[in-house]
Amino acid sequence: MTQTATDPVALKALLQWYLEAGVDEAIADQPQDRFAEQVQALAAKASAPAARPGLSDGPLPASPVRGSAPPARGPLTKPAAPAQLSDQAAVKDAVAQAAKAQTLDELRAALEGFDGCALKTTASNLCFFDGNPKARVLLVGEAPGAEEDRQGLPFVGPSGKLLDAMLASIGLDRNGEGDSAVLISNTVFWRPPGNRTPTPSEAAICLPFVERLIEIVGPRVVVCVGGPSAKTLLAQTQGITRLRGKWFDYATPKMAGPVPAMALYHPAYLLRSPAMKRDAWRDLLMLKQKIADLGAG
Ligand code: URA
């Protein structure tokens, strides 16, 4: 055991360092089935070559420690499916489940019953959407954060407060009606542990639900909030700095036709880099102009 592992002052300093680095959950990215590990360890012991006399009645093997070598896979466990294959199966299931939904309530129920996204296992709440389902403007952020996870609503933490102010500056409001109304959602519906960016497979697995949300709401304009959202929805590989300030066409096969889509800097980025608010303001004016061009109704 190292000195750090026993020294309370060093341990506290280490925790503080983790906290400042943004780690706020004592969990890993993927769930760990410790019951299965014990079964595997027992199975490995049972199938091991005959033990030397005197050692066979020893204590049961202890549960493996995190970071140690994984236990040998015993005959009681199914071989793990290749990750790619299970992601593909999850995407297929997501497409099928999302396609059945005809209303936002049905889509929410489909998400509640969907177990293909591992983020669900570590999140506290489903975070579906906030705002007005009749809105002409639909915003899609990256992923719920800690406060969103607690409340089950998108953009209700510090970056949500800035997003509300940005929207208000051009006459939009998540509690608004008519021309001022917006609907806000995310590219994934459960909080990634520690607020990390969703992985490409998590985004791909949730995408059929995001697409169905857009089809059901039928907005006149789609706004991607932040680079990961823009890359996912607009199928682009460039970063947000190159994607912002332009109009794209957004369409799914079930939509009557394409709608204009744009990307905004993420408010969390603007909180860290206030100098970029000048560009964000230009983008908001561009959005305001597009809404005005669409006319009333
Ligand atoms: N950031 C996002 O992208 N979405 C949220 O809902 C909150 C923070």
* pLDDT of 38 strictly over 60: yes
**pTM of the model as a whole:** 0.75
Taking CA atoms only, the protein residue closest to ligand 1 atom 3 is 142
Where is pLDDT greater, at 11 or 177?
Answer: 177
pLDDT of residue 63: 35
Nearest to residue 93, comparing CAs of 207, 180, 172, 170?
A: 207
- Name every protein residue with a CB atom under 6 angstroms from any ligand 1 atom: 141-145, 148, 154-155, 157, 159-160, 186, 225-226, 268
* pLDDT of 76 strictly over 50: no
206 C-beta neighbours (distance < 10 Å), count: 27
State the distance from the centre of ligand 1 to the C-alpha of 76, rounded, in angstroms: 41
Give the position, in ligand 1's atom list, of the atom nearest the Cα of 187: 3
Q: What is the pLDDT of residues 122-156, one digit of tens each?
A: 999 999 999 999 999 999 999 999 999 999 999 99
Where is pLDDT greater, at 55 or 42?
Answer: 42
Give the position, in ligand 1's atom list, of the atom nearest the Cα of 267: 1
In angstroms, the CA 255 to CA 215 distance is 6
Structure token digits, residue 85: 């294959």
* pLDDT of 71 strictly over 70: no
CA angle (169 as vertex; 248, 294 as ends), nearest 5: 40
* pLDDT of 174 strictly over 50: yes
* pLDDT of 60 strictly over 60: no
Q: How confident is the model at residue 66 (pLDDT cuts 50, 70, 90)?
A: very low
Beta bridge partners of 131: 183
197 C-beta neighbours (distance < 10 Å), count: 15
State the distance from the centre of ligand 1 to the C-alpha of 56, rounded, in angstroms: 55
Listing DSSP states for 252-265 in one string gives -TTSSS-EEEEEE-
State the distance from the centre of ligand 1 to the C-alpha of 31, rounded, in angstroms: 23
State the distance from the centre of ligand 1 to the C-alpha of 284, rounded, in angstroms: 18
Q: How confident is the model at residue 81 (pLDDT cuts 50, 70, 90)?
A: very low
Q: Does domain 87-296 have CATH number 3.20.20.140?
A: no
* pLDDT of 211 strictly over 50: yes
In angstroms, the CA 217 to CA 211 distance is 10
Q: Where are the domains of the chain?
A: 87-296
In angstroms, the CA 176 to CA 216 distance is 19
79 CB-near residues (< 8 Å, 6+ apart): 73
